[in-house]
Amino acid sequence: MALRTIESLGALSGKTVLLRSDLNVPLKDGAITDDGRIRASVPTIQALLAAGAKVVAFSHLGRPEGAPDAKYSLAPVAERLGELLGESVRFATDTVGESAREAVASDARVVLLENLRFNPGETAKSDEERAAFAAQLAAFGDVLVSDGFGVVHRKQASVYELAQQLPSAAGLLIAAELDVLDRLTENPEKPYAVVLGGSKVSDKLGVIAHLLPRVDALLIGGGMLFTFLAAQGHKVGKSLLEVDQIETVKGYIREAEERGIELLIPTDVVVASKFGADAEHVVTAADAIEQTPFGAEGLGLDIGPDTAAAFAAVIGRSRTVFWNGPMGVFELAPFAAGTKAVAQALTEVSGLGVVGGGDSAAAVRALGFNDDQFGHISTGGGASLEFLEGKKLPGLEVLGWQ
């Protein structure tokens, strides 16, 4: 079965469409610091409004413990969504209570319910509890459009059970994400390079295993690089290290060599005296981390300039590039150069360059890049990774995706 799209729902004029979006944006002191996911949800909402539908949107934000928590309210999102749509968005202060019922019954064309995770039914372990919450949501509309790609790997009430209770289809965002991910896994244009960063090797094991047979080059940065260095026999000071993954990483290094894959492990790193923007720091060879003035207390926080140049060269000659995870602690200016170099190289890819969501997406925007400089910026880091691991994603399977 193929993915069901909005067209499969028939005429929507006069109908109320429930829209599961992913509006899980970062907030600081109640202000949105990156509105990328809100902007990504707009085309589907506009298409539904153009079709004559009323839209009742909902999403989660953060990880509240199944109860209202003001710091996780979607109120700022409703305001920003209204600005992007150019019309008022009616905000309900609860999920399925009196405020939600009044908002849905109002003449507002767009309604946004409060954070779904304020209701324990959204993420309940019990199938019955999730189904009961989904039924309460289902009562608000005629059909469901599922467009929150960042949660399709989760079996949650609004993602899975609700799609079983109403006629359901994927929105424009999910369709676009799947088109790109399909191009990364099924006959990708060669040469194909994958750039992996972030803090933990363990988060990326499945991706490495699944993609190694498919790629021409694998570039390793971020905190996970130190486990690769340790697997090569180097000391890494106080840098992030997953000792229990060293043997697994050794296996990947051997496999890459056997397959003739270009595996780039950093040859130089930026080592600091401590974790902080004001820390003393030096660039050193990757095999000499403990020979800096900081000795065994040294902390690696970014790839070095030689490594950044080598990564950029590989990216530049590739036709398909997938990047997930920053190269260093980009939030601190002295340790952002590696991530910025990779981002810049990705903007110059002549084929398909994909930023794999999550921290990578936040990084490119924080470093001054625009979304349209890249082939695609995914809205779902975890979902993208699980797709690339070859896993079945419940939020897609329930929409007909095989």
Is 335 within a domain? yes
Is 397 within a domain? no
Of 176, 205, 233, the residue that ends a domain is 176
Residue 76: cis peptide before it, omega within 30 degrees of 0: no
- From CA 320, how far away is CA 301, in angstroms rounded? 27
pLDDT given for residue 186 in this prediction: 87
Q: Is there a single domain that holds both residue 146 and residue 256?
A: no
Task: Determine if residue 117 is labeled as part of a ligand binding site.
Answer: yes
Of 176, 201, 221, the residue that ends a domain is 176
Is 1 within a domain? no
pLDDT given for residue 382 in this prediction: 86
Q: Is there a single domain that holds both residue 141 and residue 54?
A: yes
Identify the domain containing residue 324 by its residue range. Answer: 188-388
270 forms beta bridges with: 283, 302
Task: Determine if residue 59 is labeled as part of a ligand binding site.
Answer: no
pLDDT given for residue 1 in this prediction: 56
Q: Is there a single domain that holds both residue 25 and residue 111?
A: yes
Task: Determine if residue 24 is labeled as part of a ligand binding site.
Answer: yes
Q: Is there a single domain that holds both residue 157 and residue 195?
A: no
Number of folded domains in the chain? 2
Q: Contact 189/316 with Cβ under 8 angstroms?
A: no
* Residue 105, domain CATH: 3.40.50.1260
Is 394 within a domain? no
Q: Contact 5/170 with Cβ under 8 angstroms?
A: yes
Structure tokens at 86: 């150019």
Is 84 within a domain? yes
Q: What residues are annotated to the active site? A: 37, 200, 358, 382
The torsion angles phi and psi of 73, rounded to 5 degrees, stand at -70, 145
Is 350 within a domain? yes
Segments in the chain below pLDDT 50: none
Q: Is there a single domain that holds both residue 199 and residue 345?
A: yes
Matching residue, tokens 């990364």: 184
- From CA 396, how far away is CA 402, in angstroms rounded? 8
3-state secondary structure the chain: CCCCEHHHHCCCCCCEEEEECCCCCCEECCEECCCHHHHHHHHHHHHHHHCCCEEEEECCCCCCCCCCCHHHCCHHHHHHHHHHHCCCCEECCCCCCHHHHHHHHCCCCEEECCCHHHCCCCCCCCHHHHHHHHHHHHCCCCEEEECCHHHCCCCCHHHHHHHHHCCEEECHHHHHHHHHHHHHHCCCCCCEEEEECCCCCCCCHHHHHHHCCCCCEEEECCCCHHHHHHHCCCCCCCCCCCHHHHHHHHHHHHHHHHHCCEEECCCEEEEECCCCCCCCEEEEEHHHHHHCCCHHHCEEEEECHHHHHHHHHHHHCCCEEEEECCCCCCCCHHHCHHHHHHHHHHHCCCCEEEECCHHHHHHHHHCCCCHHHCCEECCCHHHHHHHHCCCCCHHHHCCCCC
Q: One-letter amino acid identity for 132? A: A
Q: Contact 125/82 with Cβ under 8 angstroms?
A: no
The torsion angles phi and psi of 22, rounded to 5 degrees, stand at -115, 100
Task: Report the candidate in 136, 147, 150 with the shortest Cα–Cα distance to residue 26.
Answer: 150
Q: Contact 114/56 with Cβ under 8 angstroms?
A: no
Structure tokens at 323: 């990047």
Q: Is there a single domain that holds both residue 230 and residue 141?
A: no
Q: Is there a single domain that holds both residue 258 and residue 142?
A: no
> What would the pLDDT profile of 190-223 be if each residue is shown by its tens digit?
999 999 998 888 888 888 999 999 999 999 999 9
Q: Is there a single domain that holds both residue 215 and residue 162?
A: no
Size (the chain), residues:
402
Is 181 within a domain? no
Q: Is there a single domain that holds both residue 293 and residue 165?
A: no
Q: Is there a single domain that holds both residue 306 and residue 223?
A: yes
Task: Determine if residue 173 is labeled as part of a ligand binding site.
Answer: no
Q: Is there a single domain that holds both residue 287 and residue 264?
A: yes
Is 398 within a domain? no
Q: Is there a single domain that holds both residue 254 and residue 122?
A: no
Task: Determine if residue 63 is labeled as part of a ligand binding site.
Answer: yes
Task: Determine if residue 39 is labeled as part of a ligand binding site.
Answer: no
Q: Contact 303/327 with Cβ under 8 angstroms?
A: yes
- Would strands 143-146 and 352-355 be described as parallel, antiparallel, or unpaired? unpaired
Of 141, 176, 211, the residue that ends a domain is 176
